[in-house]
Structure 1
């Protein structure tokens, strides 16, 4: 079992599986691998320390069973000698106990490194109990000449008669509670649409009629609203969605279920809660218009004005006058009776394209 969990842990740490599984899963596989290896060494040590070859036992069968445990026997030992010699058998058993304690301590160490596994009390109790049992067994076999024992316990060959099969999880067997159930159908109540706060409408029966019809699945929608009915005067609008009737949530109810609730109220006034879908496009346009008025010099307007100035400069190429004629031209312009201020202002308005920032001040500049 420990060998299989070791292979599982190795597979979990390979790409791309490593990036797609939680960290605690791979660590739990490592803990189980060390734990079951420790149990294997503990039970082998128990057999070696507590078992003695009896006269009626089949030596060949016992020797074959012991030889199948190891890939190799420690140097200086023989399988048949271990079965017959109590001292060698005890030394090998204590070596297995030491190795079991090492695996138990490694499992506890790895469990302490993972925060999620560290908070699982049952796992901590199982690992601690197995570790204490191995320590107690080793203390019972301890003698004064233990420092002379230099035998290292060999690894145990894994063997099982159980065939490993993958068991697919059946998610339908586990009943869970949907956290988003109270929101209503996600096709309607999603982040793609903006809704108003629920409004309470008190409906009074008028000659056995409500003044509107219902349509749609869940939730139901107001349809064919009579504009002169009491519900319309209370603020009910066509296209509103009913989310509760009489304080009972009905986001998942269909038309028949909502009508059944209306009938159960009898002639009493019915309180319903409705919501309306906001027009996101209209709200965005109104916001952009408000920002344009409030911010007279936005970045886009500044860039537009700069581009228009560049176009005007390219179109209006001033005529270069000779160096000696500038005085004559100025005297003629000053003496001319056609160069009136009004004429100058009029010509500049016709030829010059005003920037967006001077449009608001055009009238004030003329007076």
Structure 2
């Protein structure tokens, strides 16, 4: 592939209602200063992160001085300063928590009323200049003039700058995946396992704003993968869940978010920030699964809307009970250390509110099934009995079950018990909601809770007869059941095919950071063996023309056409580890009129493992999950890869 083909423009995407300053190609991020709610939120988050970083440096310096000094006056002054710094940090933490609790900004702006979902803000990162370190590595390791790669360095830095502000749609996801895939090539080209380039990657914790700094490229990969999951949560929260397609899209987004966080948890270790620690990622995976389950409930409710069947309302009630159960599990996870002191209080409260809210809904729909006599349309008494046995957790069988099925009054009493339970749980959800100042500001959630409570209370008033002298029985628990189990969807990196930015360095199977070779030597070729060529040598140029990506047949054909004067070639030899320190520069010049056929086979090593312009080869990170396809002068990444080593 020629350079012009490799740089063919990407089709421009013009998303609807996207908060970008302008629509552009996939390599362009959003303008963080654009006057939109989400951009303002991101700009505020970035500013708070910088302030937290400054205050933490001041606190570290003050603590060092406090420990080092023996002067009592200085100690008092430093202690006072520390109190001010800690107070400022607490205020900044509260401000950042409020930003993390700004769920309404990410919700859909349709007129339909849905319970808000919990999205994640993106991790922020500082600018980093890779050009100096990469230039030095190109000169030292590859022995090439680094000034020839200015264009590639600029392209890499522009890509990293763009991925800091991805748009909240498919184009934004592709931008993050493109950079993530490009890091694979960057790692193999410039990050040897035994040497550190001295490049520091700075990222801020998504919830606390605490900065982390690591020299490992794995930290960069993990942070980008975290942002892919976070962006999926924002896309899922934005979907219009009043329609079936919108609900399906939300389910897909939250499942992919759960898959991204789970992939990060299983394949990266020793996280320097709390948001990428195993306990936090476990919590995020469970939270995403709970939000998927909530969407499934909304989907079932929408599909059965207007269907007056006894079995339909029992099904909705069991779906609501399932949602309540998974949110209860998330709440337990959030209230365990170390997550307890890390997760925003508004998140924990929201999860607890949802758990109580969906318990109430399960009892409400059970009551509707029992109280509305017209809904008992199942003629087969055996089928009705089977439904009730599978519905309640408690034992409801024999004479009691037969009485419930045949006697409308008994069904009314059972429905009344479920309604009483629903009213009590709705009131508990509203009580918990009132304890959180941030949630009290969310009009949508307040409206949903109030509406559900009034509806259950109204139904209870209708069936509560004045001559009811018996005490309302305790409603039996409802057995959770779902029609669609959530799944973890691993991010499909293969859908975003990228070209190795530094493909001009040569095939990755040879020209990588892990390989070492002798300095390039010039050979004036007449007879190969006499000129100094050895088995295993790799030809890099022919008559001054770069041929790293040439096919075997092309090089042999040129060598066959050698003239009386011979041909000049550039040659390198890949060294074994024990020979790397014994390299020396030398030049071999020999003129001859012929090229022996036996020598031709030893001129160039182009085995099956080498990448050519028309054949592919497996890369070395994870051969099961990664491959590079060379075409022309490029390598194309086509499958996801896995970093099972320690991140830091």
Higher CA-based Rg: 1
Same fold (TM over 0.5): no
TM value normalised by structure 1: 0.43
